[in-house]
Structures are given as structure tokens and as C-alpha cells.
Structure 1
């Protein structure tokens, strides 16, 4: 495995899809870095992490896992896969083993996201309907993507992918950053995840951290070059 360029696997978070990585993908491809941006099912921490781990383990050679937002929780668990050589957290949750998103968030003041979630229900086989959440469409631009042009955020607001509410209380079964090097990007104007949550998790993981001043939660959309730069740093360090 040594000497080969790692494949970058980009894991999107809630209220978005893999297209949110488009600018970052283009930047990485222009530097000859192999990249995959799979769909994130957004149905639960354990099942989503298992899905990411399955994709990762089927890639030949080393992998650098990149997680945005809730995707950070997934790479924390999926990153224990043998061929993962590095973790990159982008405006993300960095969980400890046995910790849930709700527990980590609960140590810090709520972000504006919390009061702007809209609940929906969906059918679950053999049981009562389950709950999923999106960001209220009128609040989406300011909460999620304040530094993205308004015509773009109007589209993003109605193409959101909902997150199963149960994901907030599931506990991480592993913390891959304990055994793998990590990098983190803090979006200082994030109104979806409190930037203090991002800083705390990054520091606890001993991550090499950069802060992007004035960046919203949608930093991969608004500042793709800066996000790609950090990923490239991780790729160089692990190649």
C-alpha cells in the first residue's frame, strides 16, 4: 500500500447530498487525486457508518475519509476500516467512543439550527412510523449556507435530504481518531453546528486544525479550494 496516492472518500452530512462536494471533487481531480463521493443513507449512525465502511473496504489501496457535519460522526466509526490512513473533519462532529451527537452538542449552547428543524414521519417495516428532520426552508439559507449565493440556497433548501431523528441519540461504537491521524476544518460562522463543538472535537482528537474565517456550515460549497487544500495536506501526509 505504501507509496500509492490514497483515494479520498467524501461523506456528506444531513440536509445535503453528494453534489455538495462538487467543487471539492473538481479541485481534487485537477490534482490527480482519486475521489469517491458516495450517498449517505442518513438513516442512523450505526447503519450509515457500516455503509461507509463497506464502500471504503472495497476500495483498493489506502483511503482518506472526509466527513462533513454528521458525516464526521460516520467517519469516526467507519475509519476503523483497515485501509483507512487518515480522517478529515469538515465543519463536523468528532465523537468519542460511546458518545452521541446529542451528548456532544449538549455541552455547548444550541446553534440556530436546533430551533429551525421541521419534523416529518416515514414508514418503517414492522413498526410505527419513524421521525426524520429537515431545516425549515425559510431558515435554510441563514442557518446552513449564509455565504452561498441566494439563488443557490433556494435550490439547496428544497433538495435537502432528511436525517433520521434517531441518529442524534445513537452512540458511536468506535473512535478511529485514536489510532489514525486526523485533520479538521472549523467554519467560524457556522450556524448549524456551534463552532465551539467543532473546535472541542478537533482538539480532543489531536487533529491538525485550520479555521476558515466567516465560513458557513456549507463551507465545502462556498470555499471548495480551502477544503480541498486541507484534504490534499492529509493525502500528502499519508501517501
Structure 2
């Protein structure tokens, strides 16, 4: 817990990104005196990434507010079952149901632009003669698809510095849905590729929903609105004690 007694905010990035995607959010939270942790997910499997995040959460004394962007939303849905997690905040994220995968949720969308832009790469799997497959977004299509309202120079850097995600991460099924027992807040990026999928998951989870006119990378496009939503969750948890 931060010295101010507020919950620690753990910021979880999505696929094709890293913790630097929160670069415009972190300074605002630190200025509030809120403790912040922004770990790097392995992006190798839903269960593996959730286990890694859970280990980070367990090392934090005091209550935690988990914030997950996109794929990170699926990860916090599972890791959020940790005892010291008090709230979940989804940013253009996927609030999975127990037994549901990202592929299951994405099948609700008719938009195929992202799927057609994915580029597969092979990577070595320790202890296996069979390589794994990881995915990135085609560099020339990345800005328009996920960062249309982000500074073009920043979007260009993000496009060539993507953190790949293993294809198998999309098929892993959530063994638990933490939103069933924890309060949650969700931000729909209305100009995203599949806002209806985000909205569906939030409504099903009984999430407090906020909609903004933003591309997928809402933390960079609308940082003030994102900080406001995180502050709301922090205040709610701090008031409960």
C-alpha cells in the first residue's frame, strides 16, 4: 500500500503492447500519492500470464486495484481472484466468464480487420521440438487499427516495438471470473474495433460502465478519462477500508 494509505494500483497492459502504454496515466496517479506497479506480462498464455500477475499481486502489502487493458482485462479477470484484490478496472478490455476464452468473446464481433492484420511468427518453446506461434499486428496497419487518435509519432514507435502475444493465449479458458465477487469498472472505447464485445462483457459482469470516443489504446488517447475512472475505483475501495 502507498504511504497515503490508498490501495496500490496495478496496471496490466494488453497484447501487442507493454507497460509503456500507461506512460500518460502513471504520472497522474503518482502525483495523487497512489502506489503504482506496472508489470510486464509474458504474453504466452492466459493461465500463465494470470499466474504471473497473481504472484506480483501477492507480493504487494495491502489492497490492490487491478487495471487491465484489452487482453490484460482477461488476465485480471483470473488473477483478480487473489485475496488482496479489491476492485477491477477494465479499459477496452475483455471481462471473461468462467470457462470462456478470448476466442469465444471475439466470436461475438463481426469486425475482421484486426484478424486480417495479424502476422504470425515462430518462437522456440523450451523443452519442445515444436516451435510456438506468436502474433503481432502488421506494422503498416497498426496505427489505423489500434491507435488512430494517438500522436502519429508515438503510434509509429508502438507499431515497431510491439510485445508479441502467443496465439494460444486466445484459446485459454478462464477458470474463474473475479468480477463475480469484486466490484468492477469498465471503459468502452466507442471508436474501437469491437466496442460491442467490451460492452457485452461489462453488462454481463454488472460493471460500472463509462464510454469514451476513443481508439483501442484509450490510455494514450484519453488518459484523463482513464485516470478519472481509476481514481473512482481507488476512492471506492479506500472508503470501504
Q: State the match for 2:122 in structure 1.
A: 121
Deviations 1:73-99 (A, max 9, x none): 000000000000000000001100100
Report deviation, 1:108: 2.3
Q: State the match for 1:202 in structure 2.
A: 202
* Aligned pairs for 1:12-27 within 5 A: 12-27=13-28
* Aligned pairs for 1:153-168 within 5 A: 153-168=155-170
- 1:232 counterpart = 2:231: yes
* Aligned pairs for 1:43-62 within 5 A: 43-62=44-63
Secondary structure at the counterpart of residue 74 of structure 2: helix
Deviations 1:105-164 (A, max 9, x none): 112213421110000000002220000000000000001100012111111100000000
Tell me, in whole angstroms, the C-alpha distance in 1 between the residues paired with 2:133 and 2:219.
28
- 1:75 counterpart = 2:76: yes
Tell me, in whole angstroms, the C-alpha distance in 2 between the residues paired with 1:60 and 1:143.
38
Q: State the match for 2:149 in structure 1.
A: 147
- 1:177 counterpart = 2:179: yes
Q: State the match for 1:65 in structure 2.
A: 66
Aligned 8 A contact 1:15 1:135 in 2: yes
Paired residues, what number? 235
Aligned 8 A contact 1:4 1:62 in 2: no
Tell me, in whole angstroms, the C-alpha distance in 1 between the residues paired with 2:52 and 2:142.
27
TM-score (normalised: structure 1): 0.96
Structure 2 unaligned residues grouped into runs of 5+: none
Q: State the match for 1:31 in structure 2.
A: 32
Secondary structure at the counterpart of residue 113 of structure 1: helix
* Aligned pairs for 1:131-142 within 5 A: 131-142=133-144
Tell me, in whole angstroms, the C-alpha distance in 1 between the residues paired with 2:132 and 2:151.
34
Q: State the match for 1:217 in structure 2.
A: 216
Secondary structure at the counterpart of residue 114 of structure 1: helix
Secondary structure at the counterpart of residue 204 of structure 1: helix
Tell me, in whole angstroms, the C-alpha distance in 2 between the residues paired with 1:123 and 1:45.
19
Q: State the match for 2:91 in structure 1.
A: 90
Report deviation, 1:4: 3.2
Secondary structure at the counterpart of residue 92 of structure 1: coil
Structure 1 unaligned residues grouped into runs of 5+: none
Secondary structure at the counterpart of residue 113 of structure 2: coil
